[in-house]
Amino acid sequence: MSVVIPAPPEHWIRAFPDLGFLVVFPDAQGRNREVEAADWRTPVSVSCSKAGNTPVLAFPRTSRDTGLPNGARGILRPAGGLFPVSPGASSAESTLQLTWEDGAVAYVVSRLISIGRDASLFNAARLADFLRRAADPWKLDLDGIAQKVAQGDFNAYDIDPLPGRDVTVKPGAGEWFLESPFCPVMTAQADGTLTLVSLAQGMHGLFSMNGNMIRIDVSPGGTVVMTTP
């Protein structure tokens, strides 16, 4: 199958001139396989399962990923798609056009497959439709959604945002952005202060336009800010 990676947000291209991708997909036995893509301009050929609701994820990778807790896949959120149900899928041509909007649903379905669930047994297209309505689906409790689907009792009322809090940091003057492709560029105040409104629990990367990252971990117990070299 030929997988087409979408163009990254313009500010990602500016900040990461070496931006590549790791395309992750399940084989016929449900095991994850990986294919490197140097950039998004050339389609990637993959040999993946053709079962219903097959998830394909394209994780952005940069030289700044070294040493991050979640390894080689980095922290920038992935693009994704489901074969053959995503709007950009073509069974006749065996192609899948990934989108940033479907990265979240592909992540959820990938989680289901990783715990041995048959992803073809639920209405993934309907879930994808719900997640596309969110301004930023990465602010939702995707792991909680995956758990509900795995238990067989998921409904639309289970789509909840992650708990969050306002976080004020002082990264310095200039433009900054978070790891989601839906996050706009933010400009720090004259004193270098920036307030991140309703930052969801979990690990985040706050990036400058030269690719430097400040790691922010938000937990129920507090917030830890760490500059990554």
Q: List, for residues 41-64, the tens digit of each pLDDT value.
A: 999 999 877 778 999 999 999 876
Beta-strand relationship, 175-177 and 32-37: unpaired
Do 11 and 93 belong together in one domain? yes
Residue 120 has pLDDT above 60, yes or no: yes
Do 10 and 33 belong together in one domain? yes
- pLDDT the model gives residue 72: 40
State the residue range of the domain holding 28. Answer: 2-158
Do 28 and 126 belong together in one domain? yes
Do 70 and 47 belong together in one domain? yes
Neighbours of 133 (CB within 10 A): 9
Do 79 and 129 belong together in one domain? yes
Residue 30 CA: distances (Å) to CA of 35, 50, 77, 106, 225: 16, 11, 22, 14, 37
Q: Indicate the residue among 131, 158, 185 that finishes a domain.
A: 158
Beta-strand relationship, 95-97 and 2-4: parallel
Do 55 and 86 belong together in one domain? yes
Q: Indicate the residue among 96, 131, 158 that finishes a domain.
A: 158
Do 170 and 75 belong together in one domain? no
CA gap 117, 110 in Å, rounded = 10
- pLDDT the model gives residue 70: 45
